[in-house]
Amino acid sequence: MASDAWFSDTQPQPTPVKVVGRVPPGGLVSSNKWRDTELMKTLQGKIKVSYEDDLGVVDFHPSSDTAIIYVSENDIIAGHSYRRRLVKLRKANSMKGVVLVEKTPVSQQYFSALQKFVVLELGMVLLYITSQTEAGNLLIQMVDEENKPSPNPFRTKRKVPPIDQAVLTTVQMIPKLGGVKARALLERFGSIKGIVQATDSELASVIGRSNTTHVRAFFNHSMSDPR
């Protein structure tokens, strides 16, 4: 849970997240500030974009219940003001929050602290990108994933709840782990936070001792505050 300093509001705040109507299949709702950017050029001809003048702290909605905040290189370098936007989205419990972060040679030194704040303190999904073009391609994948047809529930056996694609992508960033083992970890521990808090023996029972070392090294490096 995040510290009280981030969740306490001394004065009434405006609504941080505007409730949008149903996002059309294959479409994306974007804050108007992104119009005519490099990111939007990446989306042209691939998904339909609807613009809204005021989405509160949110930049994009790939679905009606998923909200995305984009943290740019400039946001990170400018200081911690972007964190208030993240906390406001976290407080909107009806929304699944995803944070896209520009990880560049300039912003890399600040990335570990940001990742720790988003994943461990707020319990939200963080995905890093290196440019608006890469972010656009990731949004296309997310919209496609949201609109995949669901199997007939009467013809399918009961199975584990579907894994959030954004979370799976994050776990797949662990070197030498692979998609199958990343999925196995999420099926067993439920979230990135659950993986981080698991013991070595619990991790090893799912992915083996060698891969457990890679998981520990990845999160110990990523979640440690830079000095």
Three-state SS letters, 50-71? EEECCCECCCEEEECCEEEEEE
Query: For 150-172, how does the pLDDT look when each residue is reduced to its tens digit (9 = 90+)?
Result: 555 444 444 444 566 667 777 87
Q: What domain range is 191 assigned to?
A: 163-227
Point out the domain boundary residue: 115, 147, 179: 147
Q: Which of 147, 174, 200 is the last residue of a domain?
A: 147
Note the pLDDT of residue 173: 78
Q: Mark whether 80 and 167 lie in a shared domain.
A: no
User: Which of 120, 147, 174 lies at the terminal end of a domain, its last residue?
Assistant: 147
pLDDT tens column, 122-135: 888 888 899 999 99
* Domain contains 157: no
Q: Is residue 155 part of a domain?
A: no
CATH number at residue 13: 3.40.50.10130
For residue 25, pLDDT over 70 is answered with yes
Q: 153 lies in a domain? A: no
What is the rounded distance in angstroms from the CA atom of residue 123 to the CA atom of residue 6? 14
5 and 114 in a single domain? The answer is yes
Q: Provide the pLDDT for residue 226.
A: 43
Q: Is residue 115 part of a domain?
A: yes
Question: Which backbone phi and psi does 97 adopt, to 5 degrees?
Answer: -95, 135
At 26-64, the pLDDT tens digits run: 889 999 999 999 999 999 999 999 999 888 899 999 888
In a domain, 59, yes or no: yes
Is 126 found in the same domain as 170?
A: no
- Say whether both 195 and 220 belong to one domain: yes
Q: pLDDT, tens digit, for every residue of 88-134?
A: 888 876 778 899 999 999 998 888 888 888 887 888 888 889 999 99
| Total number of domains in the chain | 2
The reply to whether 142 and 222 lie within a common domain is no
Strands, DSSP E only, in 64-140? 66-71, 96-102, 125-129
Instruction: Please state the separation of Cα 83 from the chain's center in Å.
Output: 14
Q: Dihedral sign, CA of 53, 57, 61, 64?
A: negative
Together in a domain, 30 and 109: yes
Per residue in 179-207, pLDDT (tens digit) is 888 888 888 888 888 888 889 989 988 89
